[in-house]
A and B are shown apart, each in its own frame.
Chain A
Amino acid sequence: MRSSWGQGRDPEPYLYLAPMLALLAVFTYWPLVHTAYLSVVRWNMAPGAAMPFVGLTNFASVTSGSLFAAASYNTVIYLAASIPLKVLLPIPIAVFVWSLGGRGAAYRTILFLPTLISFVVVSVVVLWLLNPMGGHVPALLAMAGVAMGNPLADAERAIWLVIGLSSWKVLGFHVLIYVAGLSAIPRDLVEAMRIDGAGDWRILRSLIWPLLGPTTLFVLISTILFTLQQCFTPIDILTQGGPSNGTTNLFYMVYQLAMRSFDIGGGAAGTVMLFALLLLLVAAKFALLDSRVAYER
Chain B
Amino acid sequence: MSIGRRHLVAAGAAVIGSATAAHAQQRIAITFMHYQTGTSGKILRALLDAFQAENPDVEVRDVFRQSEQITAELQAAIAARRPVDVSQVIGKNIIFHLNNLPAVQINADPAADAWLARYLPTFLDIGRVGTRIYAIPHSYGTPLVYINRDLFRQAGLDPERSPRTWDDVVEAAKQIVQRTGKGGVAQLHAANKDYGTMLMVTNAGATYLARDGMRALFDSPEGIAALQLWQDLAVRHRVMPIANDQQWTAAFQAGQLGMYITSSAALRSFVAAAEGRFELGVANYPRFGERPRRTPNSGAAVMVFAPEGPRRAASLRLLEFLSRREIANRWSRETGYMPLSVDPLADPEMARYAREFPLVQPSIAQMAETVDTDRWPAFGAIEAQTEIANMIDALWAGKGTAADLAPRTVARVNEILARANAGR
Contact = CB atoms under 8 A, between A and B. Distances in A.
B39 to A, nearest CB: 20
Contact of B241 (A66, A132, A155): A132
Interface stretch (B12-20, B334-342, B373-381): B373-381
Contact of A46 (B100, B380, B419): B100
Interface string A16-55: 0000000000000000000000000010111101000000
Nearest to A68: B383
Contacts of A198: none
A262 B190 contact: no
A85 B419 CA distance: 40
Interface stretch (B45-53, B72-80, B215-223): B72-80
A257 B382 contact: yes
Interface residues on A, range: 35 or more
Nearest to B190: A240
A45 B390 contact: no
Nearest to A127: B246
A242 B241 contact: no
B254 A134 contact: yes
A253 B104 CA distance: 32
A2 interface: no
Interface in B150-197: 182-183, 190, 193
Contacts of B243: 131-133, 150, 152-153
A67 B383 CA distance: 7
Nearest to A46: B100
B78 A261 contact: no
Interface stretch (B106-114, B313-321, B325-333, B392-400): B392-400
Interface string A226-250: 0000000000001111111100000
Contacts of A257: 382
B71, B378, B390 pick with most chain A CB within 10 angstroms: B390
A152 B78 contact: no
A64 interface: yes
Contacts of B390: 242-245
Given A133-B241, A150-B243, A260 B100 contact: no
Contact of B382 (A66, A152, A153, A261): A261
A126 B382 CA distance: 26
Interface string A148-181: 0110111100000000000000000000000000
B100, B241, B257, B386 pick with most chain A CB within 10 angstroms: B386
Given A46-B101, A67-B386, A128-B250, A155 B79 contact: no
B37 interface: no
Contact of B75 (A45, A65, A135, A150): A45
Contacts of A64: 419
B247 A49 contact: no
Given A45-B76, A128-B250, A152-B244, A261 B393 contact: no
A244 B256 CA distance: 26
Given A46-B101, A64-B419, A260-B72, A153 B383 contact: no
A132 B386 contact: no
Interface string A96-135: 0000000000000000000000000000100110111111
20 contacts: A45-B100, A46-B100, A127-B244, A132-B247, A133-B248, A133-B254, A134-B254, A135-B247, A152-B247, A153-B396, A240-B389, A242-B389, A243-B397, A245-B386, A257-B382, A259-B72, A261-B380, A262-B96, A262-B378, A263-B420
Interface of B: 69, 71-72, 75-76, 78-79, 81, 96, 100-102, 182-183, 190, 193, 241-244, 246-248, 250-251, 254, 256-257, 378-383, 386-387, 389-390, 393-394, 396-397, 412, 416, 419-420, 424
